[in-house]
Amino acid sequence: MKMYRSHIMICRGTGCSSSNSEQIAKNFEEHIKAHGLQNEVIVERTGCFGLCALGPIVIIYPEASFYSMVKPEDVEEIVKEHLVKGRVVKRLLYAETVTEDRIKSINEVNFYKKQHRVALRNCGVINPENIDEYIAFDGYKALTKCLTELKPQEVIDIIKQSALRGRGGAGFPTGMKWSFAAAAPGNEKYVCCNADEGDPGAFMDRSVLEGDPHAVLEAMTIAGYAIGGNQGYIYVRAEYPIAVKRLGIAISQARAYGLLGKNILGTDFSFDIEIRLGAGAFVCGEETALIASIEGQRGMPRPRPPFPANKGLFGKPTILNNVETYANVCTIINEGPEWFTSMGTEKSKGTKVFALGGKINHTGLVEVPMGTTMREIIYEIGGGCPNGKAFKAAQTGGPSGGCIPESKLDVPIDYDNLIALGSMMGSGGLIVMDEDNCMVDIARFFLEFTCDESCGKCTPCREGTKRMLEILDKITKGQGEMEDIDKLENLAKNIKNSALCALGQTAPNPILSTLRYFRDEYEAHIRDKKCPAGVCQALLQYTISKEKCKGCGICAKQCPATAISGKPKETYVIDQEKCIKCGVCMQKCPFKAISKG
């Protein structure tokens, strides 16, 4: 293998790719060649580094210099200074790594310091389109160990001992799932991977598939060996074109190396994997719906039992795990279950990846041991809310989860604690909301989502989500009555108890959790006809301050509804009847004399 003195790692995940990282990579290659360094320096296109907010990101090893927000035209300078003269280009480094006397390595900055990367171990480290790099980082070592040293039951025992729980939402013990499918009679069994990451706000599965696709293929093959299955399916969203492409490349490379297909590693075990594309139905994240979709039907859930472990895909015993769950498997086999259980809380072992989004400085992906507090994630790693705004709530678990207020931020995060708080882990989306977000509006947003995505099979979900949405609509329009809150609570509890699948059963969570922690906001909408955050348009009133208005008349000229009148140099007035609440006047006023509330 050829040795290089410098490795330039360039993120080719979706985030950085959207800000031109491919052009940056090409510029590096061009300038490196121009300086005759092509035998000393190599450019590597990798998966996501996690700190999407600062993309495109380029890391140069061995120094681990962290260049952020790089532009294609910056490349020449980096090559000339850093690679030719050995002087890092300070102005382009991530500001937090630059101190007065030295440059910190990336592992010392707040964003990475508390992280512990297990599922994301290879993301941003290897080139996901090159199987050799995966193998160089212990890739396919776990599979080799399983096929040559362990019996299927021993593999299941290791996963059981690790106490790994499903990372897709409900947190079911993975080893148990595998043992059920292994025990089910029949010699045709299937291994499925749920890569239909539908929770808005979650993108860890995408990053694993884009940054380390072989980790998923290897783990699925191990699962096939453990349960006695020979065929795997990865059900991936069509909205993730880069992930689909890299999975395809990875599958063909694994086949070429004899790591997929007939007689893997010369043993008598055969296993192959096929990619199936989703088509934009959130409900397909539910296991029985996903199975129906692979079978070529509408993705509608069915009652369980029978569970897929006994009767799943094409009526055969099937296991279905989430991408992040699989991403943990190989490391557990390599490092041993004790290593895995040394991290986390009593009932939730290992690490969890969270996707930080919304009103937070460091948006991106972070992986922390279970039991880390929300406060550590949001403030220490995530850098808090931008623009000096006050934190209001953290939303976890997507449309199935809830909103966690400031007062609960010190609770250690694990599956059970989040449920006790009225939310859930879900796939790990974590959206931060600040004082400018209205919690009633957020509940309405989620209900609009679940109502739209309800498959329509069971009445509680089909009709119930619609009724709840109607009530929320009414409240956000200022037409709510106090009884509506009781009605919402009643409906929510009934739907939770009676819906067919997890989508319906958890659809009321956004309402119940916002009612639990932000009831005053509901009451303000209903009783005072006010939206405290200034979001719900129907409840807003724009007013012009007498003190601040200079009578320039710009607002009156800009108003599309001719609702503002007045004379030059006198205070202008907004006719509330005519006002359409577009907010243009407020944006255009040079004296900040217009306020809403």
Partner 1 sequence: MNELEMKEKMEKLDKIIENHRGQQGALMPVLHETQELFGYLPEEAQKKISKELNVPMAEIYGVATFYSGFTLKPRGEHTISVCLGTACYVKNAQAVYERIQKDLNVKPGGTTADNKFTLVGTRCLGCCGLAPVIMIGEDVYGKLVPDDIPDILKKY
Closer CB to partner 1, 360 or 468, in the complex: 360
Q: Which helix (H) or strand (E) holds 515?
A: helix 509-517
What is the rounded distance in angstroms from the CA atom of residue 35 to the CA atom of residue 15? 30
519-526 and 509-517 helices, crossing angle to 10°: 90
Closest distance to partner 1 from the beta carbon of 363 (Å):
4
What's the gap between Cα 157 and its chain centre?
30
Contacts of 338 (CB under 8 A, 6+ apart): 161
Closer CB to partner 1, 297 or 562, in the complex: 297
Q: How many helices (H) and strands (E) does the chain have?
A: 24, 17
Neighbouring CB atoms inside 10 A of 469's CB total 21
What is the rounded distance in angstroms from the CA atom of residue 178 to the CA atom of residue 155? 10
Closest distance to partner 1 from the beta carbon of 288 (Å):
14
Closer CB to partner 1, 179 or 450, in the complex: 450
Both tokens of 370, joined, read 């279970």
Q: Which helix (H) or strand (E) holds 244?
A: helix 241-256
Closest distance to partner 1 from the beta carbon of 512 (Å):
17
* 295 in Cβ contact with 288 (< 8 Å): no
Cis before residue 386, ω within 30 degrees of 0? no
Contacts of 14 (CB under 8 A, 6+ apart): 48, 203, 206, 210, 240, 242
Site residues, partner 1 (CB under 8 A): 14-15, 17-19, 52-53, 55, 197-203, 206, 237-241, 276-282, 293-300, 314, 355-359, 363-365, 395, 398, 429, 431, 433, 437, 442, 445-446, 449, 453, 455
Q: What are phi and psi of 12, to 5 degrees?
A: -115, 30
Closer CB to partner 1, 14 or 97, in the complex: 14
Closer CB to partner 1, 445 or 591, in the complex: 445
Closest distance to partner 1 from the beta carbon of 339 (Å):
30
Closest distance to partner 1 from the beta carbon of 65 (Å):
22
Closest distance to partner 1 from the beta carbon of 364 (Å):
5
Closer CB to partner 1, 307 or 445, in the complex: 445
Please give the C-alpha separations between residue 399 and each of 435, 444, 451, 464, 574, in angstroms, as whole numbers.
Answer: 21, 11, 10, 15, 38
Closer CB to partner 1, 171 or 358, in the complex: 358
Closest distance to partner 1 from the beta carbon of 277 (Å):
5
Closer CB to partner 1, 179 or 514, in the complex: 514
Closest distance to partner 1 from the beta carbon of 305 (Å):
22
Closer CB to partner 1, 324 or 453, in the complex: 453
Closest distance to partner 1 from the beta carbon of 365 (Å):
8
What is the rounded distance in angstroms from the CA atom of residue 66 to the CA atom of residue 90? 10
